[in-house]
Amino acid sequence: MEINLTETEIKCFEYVTSDTIGWIQNVSSERARVAKEEIIAKLVEHCNANEIAIAVGEDAQVTQAYDLGVVDTAANRQAAIDAEE
């Protein structure tokens, strides 16, 4: 994954942090952590309601949630919305 910032954006980040890359990594990791919790919660609810064994480990649970169609990517969800319009 790559991120591109303009010189101005870099200067703005340098104003608020001494470690721009670290700050961006931290924000990204934290958002992913929250999403993982949401995905696993949806998976547990779905599996309990449908008497499906839950995969072992968080990585496997996220994969299972996608495989079972419990969750989908934001891009796919947006495409479905756009198709309805």
Of 31, 58, 33, 34, give the one whose Cα is nearest residue 44: 58
Q: Look up residue 7 and give its amino acid.
A: E
Is residue 20 a part of any domain in this protein? yes
Is residue 51 a part of any domain in this protein? yes
Over residues 46-57, the pLDDT tens digits come to: 999 999 999 999
Residue 66, pLDDT score: 98
Is residue 72 a part of any domain in this protein? yes
Tell me how many domains the chain contains. Answer: 1
Token couple for 80: 């479905």
Is residue 26 a part of any domain in this protein? yes
Instruction: List Cβ neighbours of 2 (8 Å cut-off, separation of 6 or more).
Output: none
Over residues 4-32, the pLDDT tens digits come to: 999 999 999 999 999 999 999 999 999 99
pTM for this prediction: 0.86
Question: Residue 80: enclosing H or E segment and its boundaries?
Answer: helix 74-84
Is residue 1 a part of any domain in this protein? no
Domain residues for the domain of 42 are 7-84
